[in-house]
Amino acid sequence: MAAPNEQFVDWEIIHVPGNAPLSLEDSTVNVVAAKIEPKLASAIIRQLNQICPLENLRHVKRVKKENSQGKVELSIILCLSSENVSSIEAFPSGVRQLIDNYNLSFFYAKVSKCQATSKEEWEEQCKLWPTSFHPPTK
């Protein structure tokens, strides 16, 4: 029973949505990548980590491994790319030199801009390029 001076309050339940999903365009960044021979991967990674570290993309794996017709193919991220860049001259000089030294054929790819916050988001990100996922600790 309510006390004589007590008032009742009607509570209204409202839905507060979590983070709105970003569009693919808003959640990705362009990179320059190249297919490489597996035996060259270690040397190229070492050089790229020196000349062009991916500081803001630590969640993105630098190398992507694919199996094609029973053969392992590796692709490696060389550097970030601008939307309108189509010339090798716009790449950092160290990356241009690496492309020349190893006779690499580069291509453009999209990778996730931010680290995944859920397993589902991580699975979507990996469709573009492999990323790391560390579930939040409780």
pLDDT by residue (tens digit) across 58-93? Answer: 999 999 999 988 899 999 999 998 766 667 888 889
Please state which of the ranges 23-32, 98-107, 125-134 shows the lowest mean pLDDT: 23-32
Nearest CA among 47, 28, 62, 52 for reference residue 101:
47
pLDDT by residue (tens digit) across 35-64? Answer: 999 999 999 999 999 999 999 999 999 999
- The span from the CA of 98 to the CA of 50, in Å, is 12
Q: Is 82 helix (H, G, I), strand (E, B) or coil?
A: coil
pTM for the full predicted model: 0.79
In order of start, what are the domains of the chain with their CATH numbers? 28-128 (3.30.70)
